Amino acid sequence: MFVEIEYEGGTLTIKGDAHVPFGTYDERKRCYRVLAYKYRDLIDYLDLSGIDYEEKVFDLPPIPFFEADFELRDYQEEAVRRWMVDRRGVVVLPTGAGKTFVAMEIIRELNVPTLIVVPTLDLVDQWIERLSVFGEVAEFSGRSKEIKAITVSTYDSAYINAENFGNKFLLIVFDEVHHLPSESFRTIAEMSAAPYRLGLTATMERDDRLHEKLPELVGGKVFELKPDDIAGKHLAPYSIRRIIVPLDEREKRAYEVKSKIFKDYVRKKGLKFSNPEDFRRIVMRTGYDSDAYEALKSWDEARKIAYNSKNKLKVLKKILERHRGEKIIIFTRHNDLVYAISKLFLIPAITYRTDQKERKEIFKYFRRGLYRAIVSSQVLDEGIDVPDANVGIIMSGTGSSREYIQRLGRILRPSGKKAILYELVSAETSEIRTSSRRRRKLKE
């Protein structure tokens, strides 16, 4: 028996007289088809079955010899060694632990055309700068459309061009791989024939449990370290201090009123409110149930009261005075509080509205020590190379362990000082449960 394998629009076509058990037969073209990510499974099946084949799958760019001088830490070497066993899988390392160098060593060892997929343009720039030790690196994004032996792309651009990328690379690296399982982005992996796949992240898990698709798309978890594993050696030693802050009397009354409206609705309708899926069901009801809309609106207003407590600002002032002269990052959930803190304490603010030029300027002065503090909403949680700081202050946040680990990671780069993460939580509010949930997830 003999078959021919070709790449066509994100799929592999298998023509010949062999049956492919996991393929779909295309009557029109008289061939079997499988999604391109099954390439390795297909080759293994043909080899084990003794079926001869000729493949015309890959159209690769010229491959230079990737050579560069850099040293790995012991845990980075172990991560590379474990990944090389099957040349697939996810490496989980804390923010600041050098995930990029793990990928660079794998690129150096395999020496094959490589695509790196990242969530933001800031990360495109950071990866290109690091990878420049190998020579010229191409960018495929909204700004540039080049493909070379090493190419860096955003998830958005890779998704739009998945059919064209699918046979151009033998290694594909997914940075912040927890983005990949989403309904659209997983197409990047499915339409790629790349036999070698590396996922990088600080936390693999998603609240919607879509991370369970990663073993099929990229490979399972092959190596993991938590912040505690390397704090004090490769990362700064740290402590976490949770401060329970009471609402003032006016805020407390308003919170109880708004919170009761939501709780009464949930109780009246016999609903649950114990996980993200329960919350999504309530959101869906707002489309046809005006009471659901009012309940959800009240719930959001109650949260904002807890997040923006006046007493939190008083505690923040004391912490800033206590750590005067140190580098501080303040994290909030919403932009309103970012701008309020910026105005009250004359601290530079970074939100999604801050253009790249201004952001780089703020980081430059923060790195030099001319700015001692910055305040931001969620834009600093991921995808931005934040200069070293040793004090973090969480004014508000979600129950996500990923967000928590990312924020902790922002202050763990070695600076010669012990890092401290303060967590300000409004007493007798849902923030208590939210804080406990993310801390519990971090321990797990």
Alpha helices, DSSP H, located in 16-111: 39-49, 74-86, 99-110
Residue 360 pLDDT greater than 90, yes or no: no
Residue 62 has pLDDT above 70, yes or no: yes
The more confidently predicted of residues 442 and 35 is: 35
**In which band, very low, low, confident or very high, does the pLDDT at 43 lie, cut at 50, 70 and 90?**
very high
pLDDT (mean) for 179-187: 94
Percent of the chain exceeding pLDDT 90 equals 55
**What pLDDT, on a 0 to 100 scale, did the predictor assign at position 280?**
79
pLDDT score, position 150: 95
Confidence of residue 444 (pLDDT cuts 50, 70, 90): low
Would the pLDDT of 57 be above 60? Answer: yes
Residue-range domain boundaries for the chain:
2-56, 74-225, 238-246+309-443, 249-307
pLDDT of 138 over the 70 cut: yes
**238 or 140: whose pLDDT is higher?**
140
CA angle 7, 13, 18 (to 5 degrees): 140
pLDDT tens for each residue of 291-342: 888 988 998 999 889 988 999 999 999 999 999 989 999 999 888 899 999 9
Give me the percent of the chain exceeding a pLDDT of 70. Answer: 94
Q: Same CATH fold, 238-246+309-443 and 74-225?
A: yes
Mean pLDDT of all residues in 217-239: 87
Mean pLDDT value across residues 133-160: 93
Buried b (16+ CB within 10 A) or exposed e, 28-37: eeebbbbbbb
The class of domain 2-56 in CATH terms is alpha beta
Cα–Cα–Cα angle for 249, 254, 260, rounded to 5 degrees: 125
pLDDT of 61 > 90? The answer is: no
Predicted confidence (pLDDT) at residue 443 exceeds the cutoff of 70:
no
Confidence bin at 380 (pLDDT 50/70/90): low
pLDDT tens-place string over residues 383-442: 566 667 889 999 987 666 777 777 887 877 776 788 899 999 999 898 888 787 766 666
pLDDT tier, 382 (very low <50, low <70, confident <90, very high otherwise): low
**Mean pLDDT score of the chain:** 88
Instruction: Give the three-state DSSP class for 193.
Output: coil
CATH superfamily of 238-246+309-443: P-loop containing nucleotide triphosphate hydrolases (3.40.50.300)
Select, from the ranges 135-139, 143-147, 155-159, 406-410, the one with the highest average predicted confidence (pLDDT). Answer: 155-159
Which pLDDT band, with edges at 50, 70 and 90, does 224 fall under?
very high
Tokens representing 328 are 């501080």
Task: Place domain 74-225 in its CATH homologous superfamily.
Answer: P-loop containing nucleotide triphosphate hydrolases (3.40.50.300)
